[in-house]
Amino acid sequence: MTFDTVVIGAGPAGLTAALYAKRKGLTLAVIADSIGGQMSKTANIENYPGHEIIPGKQLALIMQEQIKQLGQDIVMDRVTGVERIGNRFRTTTATGKHFDSRTLIIATGAHWREIGVPGEKEFKNRGVSYCTTCDGPLFADMDVAVVGGANAAAESVLEMTHYATKVYMIVRSTLKADQILADRIMSSPKVTVLQGYTVEKITGTDFVEAIHIRSKAGEQKTLQVGGVFVEIGQDPNTDFLKGLVKTNDKGEIIIDEYCRTSVQGIYACGDVTDVPQKQVIVAAGEGAKAAMDVYTYLSTHR
């Protein structure tokens, strides 16, 4: 069977694209290795219209349920490759399945960046974490460090003030978080912000015991912490494309205002693209745009 479209990813972008594609009567397969994407790792979302405040996992479930009600399942698998065969696309998964389609909607989002210092890999899941919402409660009554200076790091710091005894925020240059978050951080007695410091290494025995940092002037500090949360940004999930579509210098897929990529028939939406605003509402909106243009494209390209 050749599907009208294959949606890769089930975060807000992919789930919305699937909703629109299904309602347009297209035949589709939705393939994802997790449901909800980054939403599922967000404690509360306070800026999605229609919900004053909603746990990220709950919003993901609502979106999933909405497409399930239309009879659309999600194939839980990891996409490992996409190739163009004539005017069709073949999507291959880690379990060896193939899905042929006339168009593709890539909605694979992004993943957290690593700092790349000694001890980071060694202590991953033994004190080093990339998801405060997932792991924060494990560090109750401990001192922890959060590495990063933008919004994700700021949210992580604020979340950790609910559990940890002390939170060090290690910022390479200056704090770049939204003013409202920066104000909350600065007024918390639990938080110490260390600006102009880079991480040199993370040490411990079985679990993390310390993070070693150095200022631009060469001053070294060792902070005794039980946990290190790395929140220094994200990279788009595009490995499986192996250069099939054009990307920018950050590796994000370049799209136009209709979510079209450099390859006719391949669309992209959400955090995987060069759209600068990385938000649930934006990803959902882009997913809708992508599916609507896929419908128009299929109507005119038989």
- Chain positions contacting ligand FAD, by CB under 6 A: 8-14, 31-34, 37-39, 41-42, 45, 47, 78-79, 107-110, 133, 152, 155, 237, 240, 270-272, 278-281, 283
Of 81 and 196, which CB lies nearer to ligand FAD in the complex structure? 81
* Shortest Å distance, C-beta 106 to ligand FAD: 9
259 is catalytic: no
- The 3-class secondary structure across 115-143, one letter per residue, is CCCCCCCCCECCCEECCHHHHHHHHCCCE
> Residue holding tokens 């992580």?
156
Whether 274 is catalytic: no
Residue 40 to residue 55: CA distance in whole angstroms? 8
Of 73, 77, 100, 131, the active-site residue reads 131
Residue 134 annotated among the catalytic residues of the structure: yes
Q: Closest approach of Cβ 173 to ligand FAD, in Å?
A: 21
Minimum CB distance to ligand FAD, residue 27 (Å)? 19
Q: How far is CA 240 from CA 7, 76, 244, 250, 253, in A?
A: 14, 16, 9, 16, 13
Nearest partner of 289 among 255, 264, 262, judged by Cα: 255
CB nearer ligand FAD, residue 109 or residue 204: 109
- 14 or 127: CB nearest ligand FAD: 14
4, 33, 100, 135: the catalytic one is: 135
Closer residue to ligand FAD, CB minimum distance, 210 or 272 = 272
| In the complex, minimum distance from the CB of residue 152 to ligand FAD, in angstroms, rounded to a whole number | 5
Q: How near is the Cβ of 229 to ligand FAD at its closest, in Å? A: 10
Task: Name the residue nearer to ligand FAD (CB basis): 278 or 289.
Answer: 278
> Residues with catalytic annotation?
131, 134-135
